[in-house]
Amino acid sequence: MSEPLDLTLCGQAAAIAAGELDPAELLEAALARIEARNPAINAVVETFPERSREMLAAAPAGPLHGVPVVIKDEWPLPWRAQRFGAADMLAKTAPGESGPYRALRDAGAVIVGVGNMHELGASSTGNVSVYGPARNPWNPERCPGGSSSGPAAAVAARLVAGAVGADGVGSIRYPATYCGLTGLKPTFGRSAMDGHHMADLSTTIVSGPLCADAGDCRLLGSVLYGEELRTGDAAGLRIGVIEDEVSEDVAPAVREACEKAIEDLRAATDGEVRKIELPELAAATLATVLIANSESLGGVTPERLNNLHPELSPLGRGLLKYRLMLPAVAAVKAHQLRAMARQRLADVFEEVDVIAWPTVPAVAPPLEAPLVELPSGTLTADAANVRGGALANLTGIPAISVPVGSSEGLPVGLQLQAAWGRDELLLDAAEALEGANGRRWVEAAPPAAEPTEV
Amino acid sequence: MEASGSADDFIPAALAAFGVEADEIELAVMRAAHELLWPPILELLSLDTGSAASEPAPDLSQPPRR
């Protein structure tokens, strides 16, 4: 067989279940590959081989029995408190059992490492972290995406076949796109979140899978959801697209790849493409930023802000202090915009099954200067990316990013969004798209992770 | 008002009012954030949403109640 670490998550689980692959050997191979490949990408910030071996020794015969995975530095583990990619996260944390940890453990998975992340989850780029930035396996001088930078880079570099990320404002879908993966943002509340330091505060964050393809996301997602994400049928898919100034402000190569993918998806499902209107989209983007940036402020006091850890980045310190200045009236209006956007989407989803647009408008920017060139001019990647990522977090709907092309040697992703609870349809649609393009993009490997035969 | 112009007055004044200190790099970060966020915030503030549909305590896992 191929090198076991180059198998998909489903392939690894199936090979172990069939007795064709020794999970102890797979774990040691994963640890060795992390040691060999991780220095170039800084995706995994900590391994704990003895803990991993103990997990394997105690692993039940679940759907991920013996399969190594990485988890983002956003949840506690029984032997490690999360650091949120930061020297100072304004919240008390301690080692413990988080929901994602329990879900993985009970499924028989083996947590082999903790994935890097953007400091405080505050950016779509992944270029700032207390551990140093993670790097994109497709080009180490480019951003891996954030904030789930490490989980994405780890899967793209084939250190593991699956990783658990978190998505508060696009933070699974951005790195999925930049690293050429499939990333699922679940319907709010459907996936395991307890144990997260903002689980009782946040109305935008969810846990979710980052994997090579939709089948792997279905498997890891089922574990995180605590229920089987059943395969359905995307036949006759009604695909909604919007045409407005912001939605068309996309790099030409990204636009071309996404338009082709939408046509491929339509043809593969014998579906149809319908134009829709979302006039609240621009305002909804700001509303998401305001809500997501204010829900975490309970622990903020002037005294605390004057005594931030010196190793917190200047960017993190400045943004935390700026959050104090966000007007309360704007936050109130943001919640009203959320209601309006949800109502609009409920109407739209009577007309279409999914809404499709580029996950981000340009490929991964340079780590040193994360700017993107768009038809409207030069923007920060964050300002550009949030336009496409925010709506799902604001309204609670599920979304998925699927790799559909390449530009400048870097991956391009298409985002599909569906109505509340229709997460399975997104996976069905992603699988239909994979079938339409011969799995070309989900099987593409970055140079550092070319599959090897043994 | 230009966001860049208002930032020079607004940010130091707000920090002083809150009793929060900031160094030059932090101030530069705040200015950049302000230039990005403040114009759409002003647009949002100019909207009269008093009669807009509201959804108290929404269940975000479900569609809105009709």
Q: Is the pLDDT of residue A392 over 90?
A: yes
Give the pLDDT score at A454.
44
How sure is the predictor about A451, in pLDDT bands with cuts at 50, 70 and 90? low
Question: Average pLDDT of chain A?
Answer: 96
Residues of B in contact with A421 (CB under 8 A): 61-62
B24 interfaces chain A, CB cutoff of 8 Å: no
* C-alpha pair distances (Å), A439 with each of A91, A156, A258, A431, A445: 42, 15, 15, 9, 12
Closest-CA distance of chain A to residue B29, Å: 5
Q: A79-108, pLDDT tens digit by residue?
A: 999 999 999 988 889 999 999 999 999 999
Residue A452 has pLDDT above 70, yes or no: no
Question: Which one is predicted more confidently, A293 or A211?
Answer: A211
Over residues A394-415, mean pLDDT: 98
Q: Which of B30, B45, B46, B48 to mutate to test the interface with A (most CBs of A within 10 A)?
A: B30
Which tokens belong to A441? Answer: 């993009």
Beta-carbon contacts of residue A353 (< 8 Å; ≥ 6 apart): A234, A237, A238, A239, A271, A418, A419, A422, A425, A429
Give the gyration radius of chain B's Cα atoms: 17
Structural tokens at position A54: 């103990």
Under CATH, which architecture does the A4-449 domain have? Alpha-Beta Complex (3.90)
Residues A242-281: tens digit of each pLDDT: 988 778 899 999 999 999 999 999 999 999 999 999 988 8
Q: Write down the mean pLDDT value for chain B.
A: 89
pLDDT at B5: 59
Whether residue A294 is preceded by a cis peptide bond, meaning omega within 30 degrees of 0, is no
Q: Please identify which residue in the block is written with the tokens 């490997």.
A: A445
Residues of A in Cβ contact (< 8 Å) with B33: 318-319, 322
Angle between helices A281-294 and B24-46 (to 10 degrees): 130
Question: pLDDT tens, A375-390?
Answer: 999 999 999 999 999 9
Find the closest chain B residue to A305 by CA distance. B20
Residue A311 pLDDT:
95
For residue A272, give the 3-state DSSP assignment.
Answer: strand
Please name which of A63, A288, A64, A99 lies closest in space to residue A189, comparing C-alpha atoms.
A99
| A306-333 confidence digits (pLDDT tens) | 999 999 999 999 999 999 999 999 999 9
At A64, is the secondary structure helix, strand, or coil? coil
pLDDT one-digit tens code per residue, A179-223: 999 999 999 999 999 999 999 999 999 999 999 999 999 999 999
Bridge-based pairing of strands A162-167 and A354-358 is unpaired
Between positions 361 and 390 of A, the ones with CB within 8 A of B are 380, 383
Q: Which residues of A284-316 are buried (b: 16+ CB within 10 A; e: fewer)?
A: bbbbbbbbbbbbbeeebeeeebeebeeebbbbb
pLDDT above 70 (res A77)? yes
Q: For the residues A41-54, what does the mean pLDDT come to?
A: 98
For residue A64, the Cα-to-chain-centroid distance in whole angstroms is 20
Q: Which residue has the higher pLDDT, A280 or A343?
A: A343
Is A72 catalytic? The answer is yes
Task: Provide the residue ranges of all domains of chain A, joining segments of one domain with +.
Answer: 4-449
| Among B21, B23, B64, beta carbon nearest to A346 | B64
Least confident of A65-69, A411-415, B39-43: B39-43
- Please, which residues have CB within 8 angstroms of residue A153's CB and are 6 or more apart in sequence? A41, A42, A43, A115, A116, A126, A134, A135, A136, A137, A144, A175, A179
pLDDT digits (tens, 9 = 90+) for A117-175: 999 999 999 999 999 999 999 999 999 999 999 999 999 999 999 999 999 999 999 99
Chain B positions in Cβ-Cβ contact with residue A329 (cut-off 8 Å): 45
Which residue, among B34, B45, B62, would best test binding to A if mutated, counting the most A CBs under 10 Å from its CB?
A: B62
Task: At A383, give phi and psi (nearest 5°).
Answer: -65, -35
Does the distance separating the beta carbons of A190 and B55 come in below 8 Å? no
